[in-house]
Structure 1
């Protein structure tokens, strides 16, 4: 659990509600189902329209990364690669067949299989680089739905405000209905701007950083296996990988 993300979301909502209370307003006045439906429903519809079903579903599932980010253990990857290089140095590439079966990551399995099959280093690198590019593109397209939501939400808030004011204008002769219309108008704006800047845009930026870390892990694997294919010394490979990792931090 990423505690700082949880604290950030709860803290952001709390300060808004506290500010409302300090100004003498009622917290309950910010709870408007109609405004919520217009902003969140409209934003979701706009995002769905611009995305493919696969991208939308993947993006929604990826939101959990904000609070439970994957563990991209670069140090473990470096240790594994150095271990593989030592194994290959003693018993040849075929000695790594056992490591292939032990890998859960399909990308690493494929790269190791190419190494065991005696693929040339440049070929291994070029093939796996294409895989990385395709993977990164798919990930970023999925994460982009939250960036798009951050752009649509304020506009939906304005739309909700306009609809609320239309309701007010239609009921000028009935003062009892004016309050609800005005409330929807202003609360919809709060929902639109607040959701965009407290949730959607920050989540999109965090997902981008996590995707970059995931891509760096795959690049680390390719760099290390290409070095093994070149027959480089394990200590030299470790030094290179740590320098490579420092460039991507």
Structure 2
């Protein structure tokens, strides 16, 4: 974006030449209108909300998630699921894990817990991918409306060619501005947002998969040391080194920050 601004400012034309409100209305307004026509309005609003949520929230920390899950498993094995549920109320996130623990407390079978949690994860990922597809669709639509604006400008320019031939250059420049707008919207705004949503969806999928796995490990009564190693298998080598080592009694609980109250 900075390079584009530099190219505009360093040229012979003044920057206000690149501002044409009719072109903005055709490209941006047309893209938004086409999006509402081709997608349910609720889906469009969710997509715009996802944009603000993603850029406001930080990236999920899988190492911190695993440390909290291992601590929760240890508490559940030592003090029981009911005690662990009370402690989990003070922890941010881990919604899938909390739902799974509630199902365990209600006496659901392993397969029922597994299928229900996996359905939750699958449905959430599906919603996030729809939001990605929404912005990718807008990235494909914006250049088309840029061309429509250019054609409108060319038609108007040709109509005045006989009366004012000296205005051909400026008229052509104005006509091409809408193509410029379409390319900027597609490649600098809509496509990057879609990519960001896709990246966030992949991160969330791993985070939620870890939570499902932790619930099943607790159900199977696996040792918390084994649970830590099992969950660590989802991480790369660099992230594994950051995991809290399971050492003396209470050390993991203290370092994981499980009982840190939400601000």
Query: Aligned with 1:67: secondary structure?
Result: helix
Aligned residues: 236
Q: Radius of gyration: which is bigger? A: 2
CA distance in 2, matches of 1:117, 1:89: 17
Matches within 5 A, 1:41-80: 41-65=29-53, 67-80=55-68
Q: Which has the larger helix fraction?
A: 1
Alignment of 1:193-204 (within 5 A): 193-204=183-194
Give the drift of 1:115: 2.3
1:18-37 matched pairs, under 5 angstroms: 18-37=6-25
Cα displacement string for residues 77-131 of structure 1 (whole angstroms, at most 9, x for unaligned residues): 2122111111121123233231353355443331220122233333211110011
| Residue pairs, 1:89-238, within 5 angstroms | 89-103=77-91, 105=93, 106-175=95-164, 178=168, 181-238=171-228
* 1:61 shift after superposition: 1.2
How far is the alpha carbon of 1:228 from its aligned partner? 0.7
- With over 3 angstroms needed to count, the CA separation of the structure-2 counterparts of 1:91 and 1:124, relative to structure 1, is same
Higher RCO structure (Cα 8 Å, ≥6 apart): 2
Q: Secondary structure at the match of 1:244?
A: coil
Q: C-alpha displacement at 1:22, in angstroms?
A: 3.1
* Separation of aligned partners in 1, 2:112 and 2:54: 36
Deviation at 1:143, TM superposition (A): 2.7
Q: Deviation string for 1:162-219 (max 9, x for gaps)?
A: 0101111222244276566423311001011122111111111111001111121111
Unaligned runs of 5+ in 1: 1-11
CA RMSD in angstroms comes to 2.2
